[in-house]
Amino acid sequence: MEPQIDIQTGQEIRVRIAPSPTGLLHFGTARTALFNWLFARHMGGKFILRIEDTDIERSTKEFEEDIVTGLRWLGFDWDEGPDKGGPFGPYRQSERLDIYAHYLQQLLDEDKAYHCFCTKEQLDVDRQAMQTQGTTPIYVGRCSALTKEEQVQRITAGEASVIRLRVSEGVIEFHDIIRDVVTVQSALIGDIIIARSLDLPLYNFAVVVDDYEMKISHVIRGEDHISNTPKQIVVQRALGFATPEYAHLPLILAPDRSKLSKRYIETSLNDFKAQGYLPESLVNFMAFIGWHPTDDKDVMAREELIAEFDLERVQKGGGVFNLEKLEWLNAQYIKRLPVGILVDELMPFIPQEWNTQRALLERVAIVEQDRLKRLTDFVESAAFFFALPDYEADLLAWKGADVSMTKGHLRAVLDILRNAPESQFTKDALETLLMPLAEEKGRGDILWPLRACLSGKKASPGPFEIMPALGKSEVIHRIEVAIEKL
């Protein structure tokens, strides 16, 4: 059969992410989605979402919802999918059962597949025997010689069966863009089960039918699927389908190159959102797990990634997941947000009482922006702007300075600020107003008590950053509170 797609000319690049809704959207699936999406956008191709819910018992609508929400949040806009439709739908496997049944029937009619009636007990005994002999356990072929009539008779008699594909011995070779040529002996596969019945196809069968019907040109997926590829190729050959290009992405490893802990593997992408990460940071972070641009850039926004992404530069060896790197990147992306957008992003994380104080929020966001690693950090670091914490008077004394002296210094600051118009409550103007006093009396003696009384905290941004955010009347009030305490 002619290939459906001319891969050489780069025409009709079509890739897919094919999650099984048997769990939340995991980091690994999101990274696979990203590489598919980057490749599609770089090549001007199509990116397709297909929900692989043939495992009816383990698939749920809630998991599908989690996956779709997460992929959408990451900004991977698919061109075709269950919600969007498209020319090769439906895009949910449970809605495609008639298509699989058609191809299964075709294989049965052509005697390329057959019903197998072996019981679990028989198969267990076979498997153990082969393991004892030290050979790869494959199906022994007990039912492969049954005639069609015998198969029909046993089905009619009510015997349970599955559908197996006849796999002849030989070499299966495929090209992998990342791994080059991969060779497997089909004798190591045996006659595989492709369906439990006509309307219950298994993954390795359904995926082949779908990739063909949906004209997928490149199958880009995790390395954990590499052992499935030869099985899918024998199905393709039986059905007369062309083999797509493959690219198996490297595993994701912990920083010490051990297996990544379950904590991260099983974390839903939506939890990263709840932890205050921006989608932009995650996209950038994930892109670098197994791929690098030609130069040593670290921060690469979506558009740059699309422009530079290239499957040829994906590495074979595992890519490292380093949480500190993610936090660092997140801080970089938070710094770059226009303040209005930063405030919008902060909204889901802040207490309700702050929501109504948009102008104050924006001023505070400007102060805190460069310090945030995660959006969730804001609540703690910015709280003092919204309510002065209770603090002890000795917080105000710089290095054990005398109380009455500290009080005098705060009074002097208060006098200057009372006379300053609101318009002077900018960082530069306030510095011009107060620094001569600070130089005269000693910087620590003036600036420490001022900063401490404004924040009520041992550590905070400096007074010239805090004051413009608080505004004149609140600044005056907080200094008065401090003088009262001394």
Residues in contact with ligand GLU by the rule CB under 6 A? 18-20, 52, 207, 221, 225
- Residues 402 and 381: their CA atoms lie apart, in Å, by 29
CB of 225 to ligand GLU, least distance (A): 6
Give the phi and the psi of residue 368 in degrees, each rounded to 5.
-85, -20
CB of 311 to ligand GLU, least distance (A): 15
| Tally of residues, the chain | 486
- Residues 413 and 438: their CA atoms lie apart, in Å, by 9
Residue 239 CA to its chain's centroid (Å): 35
Report H helices in 3-60: 27-43
**101 vs 226, beta carbon nearer ligand GLU:** 226
Residue 399 CA to its chain's centroid (Å): 48
> What are 28's two structure tokens?
């690994």
- Nearest one of 152, 156, 190, 154 to 172, comparing CA atoms: 190
* Type and span of the H or E element at 433: helix 427-441
**163 vs 207, beta carbon nearer ligand GLU:** 207
Degrees, nearest 5: CA angle 179-315-215: 55
- Nearest one of 470, 303, 263, 315 to 384, comparing CA atoms: 470
- Nearest one of 310, 334, 40, 43 to 178, comparing CA atoms: 310
CB of 355 to ligand GLU, least distance (A): 39
> What are 106's two structure tokens?
């075709």
Pairing type for strands 180-185 and 171-176 reads antiparallel
CB of 19 to ligand GLU, least distance (A): 5
Could you confirm whether 231 is annotated as catalytic? no
Decide if 218 contacts 260 (C-beta within 8 A).
no
* Type and span of the H or E element at 233: helix 229-239
**18 vs 282, beta carbon nearer ligand GLU:** 18
120 is in an annotated binding site: no
Catalytic residue among 61, 148, 259, 262: 262
Tokens 């004051």 found at: 467
CB of 365 to ligand GLU, least distance (A): 39
Residue 254 CA to its chain's centroid (Å): 16
CB of 250 to ligand GLU, least distance (A): 15
**91 vs 354, beta carbon nearer ligand GLU:** 91
**154 vs 225, beta carbon nearer ligand GLU:** 225
**20 vs 236, beta carbon nearer ligand GLU:** 20
Helices (H) and strands (E) in the chain, counts: 21, 12
**112 vs 248, beta carbon nearer ligand GLU:** 248
CB of 187 to ligand GLU, least distance (A): 24
Give the phi and the psi of residue 245 in degrees, each rounded to 5.
-75, 145
> What are 466's two structure tokens?
């805090």
Catalytic residues: 262
- Known binding site: residues? 262
- Known binding site for ATP: residues? 262
